[in-house]
């Protein structure tokens, strides 16, 4: 991934809720880009630097509190909680320079957003680090931590740097467009397709100790769900195919392209795609066309459903089965969505 794509990765992580991890050589502006994005989107940011962090920076202090003859240990309010209690971004810089003791503390934050007795609201967690072979004191992430992120290697590009400097010289302001969030139903549909892909292809849960690139993900139940959420966000926001596959690779590894292609084959066209290019819709496999008709009847609003009906009506000699499927489905599930004039027209033809 190029440095210019960091804003897209940020939004993928924020909207999907999947923690992201940026790998790269030192000095390619990972930290400054995260700071700029948070500033532009008015999002609170709390940064921890792995090489200097102390456990008390994460969980606070535990203080002895005597209540009569009973000794209790009370947790002070952690600094993270003070800043991010209502949401924001937790940026873990140089995270793989952190001791295993600190990483263990973060497991609970990654899983549930809890810091001892304190519960954070929705936060975005982004980690960054240098591969061990590229930086002193850097270590590989333990498998238990690695599988809780999706990973991307950032390739530095002087062309990106030149474009950035030129825009600043020309007085252009950087713009960051927030991504749209898919509904939980859309997330679930994507997860269902991903689970079908894994079952159909007899995929196996992978060993957490396999030797792969630093940014290569591991396929298991958790990472497949992560991949599904990322894929749903990519589709909703028209992220490029190459970048989508790269994000999936950071979740599930070498099977990323296979999952992406399987999803695209199962993905039903939108009404906009059907109306703008009817011939491509009519050329789809029969089962996919029928599934599209049934999906539209259940999900479209009355105005759009009427437009789709008119397309099928005008092509019913070419596609009589689709027209009959539409009529049958409307009569059984969605008659109230169509105006009386259309229902009368359908009834007259049926009669």
Triad 120, 15, 205: Cα angle to 5° = 90
Using one digit for the tens of pLDDT, what is the confidence trace for 32-82?
889 889 988 899 998 888 777 766 667 666 666 666 666 677 767 777 888
pTM of the predicted protein model: 0.77
Question: Quick one: 198 exposed, middle or buried, by C-beta within 10 A (0-12, 13-18, 19+)?
Answer: buried
Name the token pair of 107. Answer: 């497991």
Would you say domain 1-51+80-174 falls under CATH 3.40.50.300?
A: yes
Is the Cβ–Cβ distance between 97 and 138 less than 8 Å? yes
Residue 137 has phi, psi (to 5 degrees) of: 75, -5
Q: What is the pLDDT of residues 154-209, one digit of tens each?
A: 888 788 778 778 877 777 777 778 899 999 988 998 999 999 999 999 998 887 65
The residue extents of the domains of the chain are: 1-51+80-174, 180-267, 271-350
More confident residue, 247 or 296: 247
């Amino acid at each position: 991934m190029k440095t210019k794509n960091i804003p897209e990765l940020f939004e993928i992580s924020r909207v999907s809720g999947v923690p992201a991890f940026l790998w790269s050589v030192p000095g390619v502006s990972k930290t400054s880009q995260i700071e700029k994005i948070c500033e532009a989107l008015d999002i609170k940011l709390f940064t921890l630097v792995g090489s200097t962090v102390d456990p008390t920076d994460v969980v606070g202090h535990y203080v002895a509190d005597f209540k009569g003859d009973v000794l209790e240990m009370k947790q002070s309010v952690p600094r993270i909680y003070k800043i991010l209690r209502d949401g924001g971004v937790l940026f873990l810089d140089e995270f793989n320079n952190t001791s295993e003791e600190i990483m263990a503390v973060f497991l609970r934050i990654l899983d549930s957003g809890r810091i001892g007795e304190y519960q954070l609201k929705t936060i975005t967690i982004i980690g960054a680090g240098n591969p061990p072979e590229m930086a002193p004191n850097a270590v590989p992430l333990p498998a238990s931590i690695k599988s809780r992120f999706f990973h991307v290697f950032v390739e530095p590009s002087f062309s990106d740097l030149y474009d950035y400097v030129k825009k600043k010289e020309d007085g252009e302001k950087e713009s960051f467009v927030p991504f749209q969030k898919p509904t939980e139903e859309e997330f679930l549909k994507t997860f269902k397709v991903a689970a079908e892909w894994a079952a159909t292809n007899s995929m196996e849960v992978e060993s957490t100790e396999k030797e792969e690139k630093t940014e290569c993900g591991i396929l298991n139940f958790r990472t497949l769900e992560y991949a599904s959420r990322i894929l749903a966000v990519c589709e909703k926001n028209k992220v490029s195919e190459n970048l989508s596959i790269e994000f999936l690779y950071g979740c599930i590894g070498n099977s990323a392209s296979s999952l992406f292609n399987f999803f695209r084959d199962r993905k039903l066209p939108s009404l906009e795609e059907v109306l703008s290019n009817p011939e491509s819709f009519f050329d789809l496999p029969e089962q996919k066309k029928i599934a599209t008709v049934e999906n539209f009847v259940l999900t479209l609003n009355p105005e759009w459903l009427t437009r789709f009906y008119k397309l099928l009506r005008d092509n019913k000699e070419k596609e009589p089965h689709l027209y009959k499927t539409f009529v049958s489905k409307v009569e059984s599930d969605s008659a109230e969505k169509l105006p009386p004039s259309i229902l009368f027209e359908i009834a007259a033809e049926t009669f």
